[in-house]
Amino acid sequence: MITVYKKSVFAAFEEEKVPVIANTVNTKGVMGAGLALEFKLRFPSYFDNYREKCSHESPSPGSAWIFRGDIFPRIISLFVKEDWKMPSKISWIRSSLKRAEEIITESNFERVALPLAGAGKGGIDPQTSENITREVFESSKAEILLCLDKTTSKTEESMIKQLRAMSEYELKCLTLRPSIIKRLLDKREDVTRFREILDIRGIGIKTYSILFNALISREPGNDNQLNLF
């Protein structure tokens, strides 16, 4: 059974208590943008394991793999890209979803949250991705939440509010450059999704990661992050 869910896979875990969520990845061990970057920041032990797997096992595009570490949720990696610089392919999306369906069946998972595979940085039309997902999981016994990521989760909404409320002193405590602090103070009211911080001129992954970790560490139940305050 497939249920369309307007929020992200992270909201499905945090708010709907879905115990298994999926991430879209490449085979090169890089999580530098989009959904994968947030997985890297939220679950560092998962990222370390993924990077090691890519280094030593050379996964193929179209495969899938489940991380069963000492954290929850369980995480299924969908290898929908070969190189992070290149787009996804429909054949890889279909193949990785089929392998994910096998993992879900073998593991007797009852509820799983999936993103629109390849529809972000992968360049695949969202409707095409949704159609493939429905085709692959039409007979699945598990409840599949297909996450459109159209609205903020409670955690993301809280993080944005915290960002808007941070004082200049608090930003300085994060060792951000004065020029970066000025841009954040000037542009933060325009941020409606946390990832939009990366659209602010001069702000890269390093600054974004510092802000993400600092703010998510204040959220209840996010013990994977370092508490920086």
The catalytic residues are 81
Q: What are the backbone angles phi and psi of residue 9, rounded to the nearest 5°?
A: -65, -30
Pairing of strands 111-115, 74-79: unpaired
DSSP result, the chain: -EEEESS-HHHHHHHH--SEEEEEE-TTS---SHHHHHHHHH-HHHHHHHHHHHHHH-PPTT-EEEE-SSSSSEEEEEE--SSTTS---HHHHHHHHHHHHHHHHHTT-SEEEEE-TTSSTT---HHHHHHHHHHHHTT-SSEEEEE---S--HHHHHHHHHHHH--HHHHHHTT--HHHHHHHHHHGGG-SSGGGGGGSTT--HHHHHHHHHHHHTTSTT-TTS----
Find residue 22's DSSP bridge partners.
76
Q: How many CA atoms lie within 13 A of 90 on its CB side?
A: 10
